[in-house]
Amino acid sequence: MTREILKNALAQAIQDAQKENLLPSFVLPEIIVERPQQKDHGDYASSVAMKIAGVAKAKRTPQGIAETIVAKLTGKLGGTVKEIKIILPGFINFSLANEYLQKEVREILVPGQTYGRLNLGQNKKVQVEFISANPTGPLTLGNARGGFLGDALASVLQAAGWQAQREFYINDAGEQITKLGHSILGDAEAVYQGEYIDELRAGLVGKPKDAKTVGRAGAKVIIEHLIRPVVEKKMKIKFDNWFWESELHAAGKIEEVLKTLKSKKVTYEKDGALWFKTTQFGDDKDRVLVKSDGQPTYALVDAAYHLNKFKDRGFDRVIDIWGADHAGDVARVKAAVEVLGFGGKLEMILCQLVRLIKDGQEVKMSKRAGVYVTVKELIDEVGLDAVRFFMLTRSAGSHLDFDLALAKEQSPKNPVYYVQYAYARICSLLAKEKGVNRAAKSQAKISGDAFNLSSDEAELTLVKQLIKLPEVVADTALDYQVQRLPQYAMELVRAFHKFYEECRVISEDKAQTASRLALVEATRIVLKEVLGLMGISAPEHMEHAPK
């Protein structure tokens, strides 16, 4: 990965300068290498000299420190860069060599290799738990956002070298199940309503009328007929595990974790209930573990569930994706994980709300339910690819407006259509050239062996976008900002269109034609990979051209 080559070279140069007393001894700060916003500042830049000026006990300017580092970079970059510049107040800027860019394109074109795959995770086990909607009704618009985020994140983690497992947690033993039972029975304590409730009630003829028993039976029907089919067939998400809360109760895991928490002396009794001292771990208030009636709370059940994840199943890291309405529960879950001995291994992502927008106004699509939009309805209306792309375009912590009209529009204004059409255009170009050009009649001929860059700026820019994929994968695997994927796809397509407009791909110059066809093929490979990480199809043919 280009960025890592530069970071490692900088680290070695700094250490060499210290050994020769050209720089004083200090704890090396994190070396950050980024892509500068201004093109004339090169392809990559680092502010490490300014960081060193802040921590090193030396009366030297950042520019002077940068000059010392650059002098020690000689021979450490192996032809990666063609030029290094120092820009005030002390940025070290790198411009990549054409030979290096050519080598990277050849790497993309290696048969049987998936470009952008890394070993950051070192095959460690990570679990991504997402959706986990209460089994009390159909999946709603809000569930879709966390669902597609979790699925894409798991794919990125796998690409970065983790063993990533997807899990759906089913709360089938809490208060909401009793409320579901009352709703099915239609008594005074009913909470949920809708056609699906009426259908469940109709199926209860001659069956027990206990609310909890009815609720559990109803939850199983909802999972098997309203949730799982939508997840697997409509959303195209394959969970490795569907974990039922009732399994924890049946296995005695609630009692086990309660005993452990008591032994850690982080519980106390008050008002007939058992409390957890979560304020000791940064929570705004202590939480009840066991209510005065003897029933466990979500705080206790979640502690048992996470103990199962770490202790029983051996995950090295767990990522929970919840709705923003659970923000108040994050501190108590993390407190339990820390007390149980797994602090620092749990990450929580909160998804903000999604609004459905049409003609500038918020709308509701569901005539049947009346109060919410189901995932099935939305996918049926605009298509899975559009829903996935739009749901991934903003960070989880930002509110998202889903523009219904835009998602259905077949024009470059629609980002997913814009990206997919570019992929289909690339495939069409390659297929056409196979048929008419004898020099490239076999796809094998479009290979890195013949690839040589010209000095055209659009061509160079496209290559620099292609080699960005490993960085996108690495960054996303570490900070979970999955919106990078659609953003990168758009940037890559814009770079391709600029290249296609300004560089003649097929010409009388056979060597140039072969090289540019190779670059087109490399673009196809990388674009397909990023679409795959998002779970979005890469169509080779599209009926409608952009308007």
Closest CA to 133 of 283, 287, 239: 239
Q: Are residues 154 and 84 in the same domain?
A: no
DSSP single-letter state for residue 327:
G
Pair 506, 445 in one domain = yes
Rounded to the nearest integer, the mean pLDDT of the chain is 91
pLDDT in tens, 374-392: 899 999 999 999 999 999 9
Half-sphere exposure of 307 (CA within 13 A, CB side): 23
Of 96, 113, 145, the residue at which a domain comes to its end is 96
Span 407-422, mean pLDDT? 94
Average pLDDT over residues 70-99: 94
pLDDT of 445 higher than 70 = no
- Cα 435 to the chain's mean position, in Å? 39
How many angstroms separate the CA atoms of 525 and 296, rounded?
52
CATH number for the domain harbouring residue 22: 3.30.1360.70
Asked whether residue 90 falls in the same domain as residue 136, the answer is: no
CA distance 387 to 404: 9
Task: For residue 423, tell me if it sits in a domain.
Answer: yes
Neighbours of 431 (CB within 10 A): 12
- Contacts for 272 with CB less than 8 Å, ≥ 6 apart: 292
Amino acid identity of residue 522, one-letter, is A
Task: Reply yes or no on whether the pLDDT at 208 is more than 90.
Answer: no
* Residue ranges making up the domain that contains 51: 2-96
Kindly state the average pLDDT of the residues 246-270. 96
| Range name among 224-238, 291-305, 356-370, 436-450 with the lowest pLDDT average | 436-450
In angstroms, how far apart are the furthest CA atoms of the chain?
Answer: 88
Q: Would you tell me how many other CB atoms lie within 10 Å of the CB of residue 491?
A: 14
On whether both 290 and 153 belong to a single domain, the answer is: yes
User: What pLDDT score was predicted for residue 136?
Assistant: 93
Is residue 357 within 8 Å of 365, Cβ to Cβ?
no
Residues with Cβ within 8 Å of 540's Cβ and at least 6 positions away in sequence, in order, are 423, 424, 427, 428, 431
Residue 199 lies in a domain: yes
Q: Say which residues have a Cβ less than 8 Å from residue 412's Cβ, sequence separation at least 6.
A: 418, 421, 546, 547
pLDDT at 246 over 90: yes
| Amino acid, res. 342 | F
- Look up residue 75 and give its two tokens: 């021979």
pLDDT over threshold 60, residue 435? no
Give the total number of structural domains in the chain. Answer: 3
- Picking from 214, 223, 134, the residue whose alpha carbon sits closest to that of residue 181 is 214
Q: Is residue 408 part of a domain?
A: no
Same domain for 423 and 344: no
pLDDT over 90 at 227, yes or no: yes
Domain edge (last residue) among 96, 116, 140: 96
pLDDT at 436 over 50: no
| Torsion angles phi and psi, residue 108, rounded to 5 | -60, -35
HEC readout, 380-438: HHHCHHHHHHHHCCCCCCCCEEEEHHHHHCCCCCCHHHHHHHHHHHHHHHHHHHHHHCH
Prediction pTM value: 0.92
**Residue 439 carries which DSSP code?**
G
* Rounded distance between C-alpha atoms, residue 444 and residue 202, angstroms: 62
263 and 132 co-located in one domain: yes
What average pLDDT does the segment 315-342 reach? 96
Answer yes or no: is 521 within a domain. Answer: yes
Same domain, yes or no: 146 and 242:
yes
Same domain? 319 vs 463? no
Residues 6+ apart with CB under 8 A from 243: 167, 168, 169, 170, 305
- Both 203 and 286 in one domain: the answer is yes
pLDDT of residue 88 exceeding 70: yes
Instruction: Evaluate whether residue 78 is within a structural domain.
Output: yes
Q: How far apart are the first and last CA of the chain?
A: 38
Q: Rounded to the nearest 5°, which phi and psi values hold at 510?
A: -65, -40
Helix axes 298-307, 330-339, angle to 10 degrees: 50
Do residue 420 and residue 338 come from a single domain?
Answer: no
Whether residue 142 is found in the same domain as residue 287 = yes
Helical residues (DSSP H) of 223-320, grouped into ranges = 228-229, 245-250, 253-263, 298-307
Length of the chain counted residue by residue: 547
User: Three-state DSSP class for 128?
Assistant: strand
* DSSP code at position 140: B
Q: 544 or 239: whose pLDDT is higher?
A: 239
165 near 239, Cβ under 8 Å? no
- Same-domain pairing of 320 and 419: no
Q: Tokens 């993390």 identify what position?
A: 334
pLDDT at 11: 96
Buried b (16+ CB within 10 A) or exposed e, 97-136: beebbbebbbebbeeeeebbebebbeeebbbbbbbbbbbb
For residues 249-269, give the mean pLDDT: 96
